[in-house]
Amino acid sequence: MKRYFYLWHRWLGIGLCLLMALWFVSGLVMMYVGYPKLTPREHLAQLPALSAEDCCVPLAQVLAAADERQAPAAVRLTTVAGQPRYLLRYGQRVLAVDARSGQRLAGVDEQAARAAARQFAPGRGVSYQGLLDEDAWTHSRALDADRPLHRVELDDGTLLYVSSHSGEVVRDATASERSWNWLGAWLHWLYPLRGGTLDRWWGDIVIYLSLAATLMTLLGIVVGLLRWRFAKPYRSGARSPYRGLARWHHIGGLAFGALVLTWIFSGLMSMNPWRLFTTPTPLDMAAYQGAELRADAFPLPAQQAITRLREAGLNARELHWRLVGGRAYLQGVDASGATALLPADGDGTLLHGLTDAELLRAAQAIRPQERLQVERLNAYDFYYYARAEHSMLGHLERPLPVLRVRFDDPAQTWLHLDPRTGSVVGRLDAGQRTSRWLFALLHSWDWLPLLQNRPLWDGWMWLASLGGLLICLSGTLLGWRRLRRRPRPSPSRARPARSAGRRDTLYP
């Protein structure tokens, strides 16, 4: 049985060690440079303040122009290509309505894409590169509602991607980000397999490669322990029977093998294999709004809201129409992300947040007969915390304080509610909390004592990654030597005696 452990570890290692080494190198790059994305901070920074002059048509006219049977999930007023525009989201679709004329935009052409790029980067030269569905920097499913995308290049090499439906810049990718990403996220997530004939099998390929690498690492730990003399050393006096590169691989595997195993296994878990963390009955959030987003719920005109917000000291870059527990608000957001709420009934009261009681009434409507468990978070904890902006989910806002509301639904859902805006800033069900342990903790070491003391987190990640590289690169070289080895002599020939403690291969 032991021999099969050796053989499986050997041949899996020959096939996978180089790939694992690339995973470690690309992981180190991703610690500092993430996959390109447009963060909320970048989005707000390029917007001019909304003007109440010559703006805006009533919401009823906007919804009529959209000509949709159902109410939109979200409505906001922003500036696109220098013009005020309503953007309405219906599930995975985005519709745009001109805020001055009230006409629905049928599509976004090259000229509009150039104008959007000039608003994003005023004074810069732009070069239009065409319409595309997907490329190396736009694989994210978050962009599906905006496809196809116009690609525009700035004179400094930055690529901007403009939605063909809304006209907004929805992603930017600087030349520096793209250069590092060829060695970072693009390589780490095996994106060379995306966009071609293998695209439909990309997820399965990553899952089964990770599964094979997990098995290889586990077998390596078993083999390493079997070959280590804990009580009595070998005749050479060493605890390991190997020498040279094989000894480095053996000792490195014993020292860092458990960390490598957790990294590979947690990488597998990041793919949600076989939908292990998917909740079959997610919590129905429709009742939290308390009503559909209809025009009659918002009698306060947009231009009046803009004026009131400015008088109160908030120069709104965007307006959001929001319903919480059946009550309607217009939410203004300025360039820094600061917000304020105006009740849409037009009573003139400026709010800097909602009370806990208002939020709980809205949450209770989701499951009226249930007693909710509620706590107020004034500091981050294991399940609610912020990451660096460039990290995979670091662009998602994690404000404090928040209310955590726990439900007793089949999915055991937790909601995190932002008192400033009434929005749901986080939703965690039992599967997602399990993924928090098996992916985020084991893969990125999202542990507050480390995250809040970055030199410690960086040092730990570098040490562990270099240990993993030692194992993988030495395994790659040993595998290469094995493949170059001459065929063994015929079984009829006598095999030379082996001297204990003098072997330089990991396998019998």
pLDDT recorded at residue 54: 82
Phi, psi of 382 (to 5 degrees): -65, -35
AA identity, residue 144: D
Residues 218 and 228 sit within 8 Å (Cβ to Cβ) = no
The CA distance from 379 to 389, in Å, is 18
The CA distance from 345 to 437, in Å, is 45
For tokens 């001109």, name the residue.
98
* Element (DSSP H or E) covering residue 84: strand 83-90
Sites in the chain below the pLDDT cut of 70: 488-508
pLDDT recorded at residue 501: 44
Reduced to 3 states, what is the DSSP secondary structure of residue 500?
A: coil
Q: Which of 459, 322, 489 is nearest to 31 (CA)?
A: 459
pLDDT recorded at residue 91: 86
Q: Which of 487, 503, 479 is nearest to 18 (CA)?
A: 479
The CA distance from 396 to 416, in Å, is 13
pLDDT recorded at residue 503: 47
Residues 137 and 126 sit within 8 Å (Cβ to Cβ) = no
pLDDT recorded at residue 82: 93
- CA distance readout (Å), 93 to 66, 72, 146: 12, 10, 8
pLDDT tens digits, one per residue of 94-111: 999 999 999 999 889 999
AA identity, residue 383: Y
Quote the tokens at residue 389. 């902006």
Q: Which of 12, 23, 121, 100 is nearest to 56 (CA)?
A: 100
The CA distance from 475 to 362, in Å, is 57
For tokens 């089964």, name the residue.
208
> What residues contact residue 444 under an 8 Å CB cut-off, 6+ apart?
387, 391
pLDDT recorded at residue 1: 78
pLDDT recorded at residue 490: 60
pLDDT recorded at residue 195: 86
Quote the tokens at residue 215. 């098995």
Quote the tokens at residue 299. 């009698």
pLDDT recorded at residue 245: 95
The CA distance from 72 to 97, in Å, is 13
DSSP-H helix ranges across 299-351: 302-311
pLDDT recorded at residue 393: 87
> What residues contact residue 488 under an 8 Å CB cut-off, 6+ apart?
none
Long-range contact pairs involving 103-108 (C-beta distance under 8 Å, separation at least 24): 103/65, 104/65, 104/66, 104/67, 105/167, 107/164, 107/165, 108/150, 108/162, 108/163, 108/164, 108/165, 108/166, 108/167
pLDDT tens digits, one per residue of 63-90: 999 988 899 999 999 999 999 999 999 9
AA identity, residue 299: P
For tokens 């559909």, name the residue.
292
> What residues contact residue 219 under an 8 Å CB cut-off, 6+ apart?
5, 8, 9, 12
Quote the tokens at residue 289. 């709004």
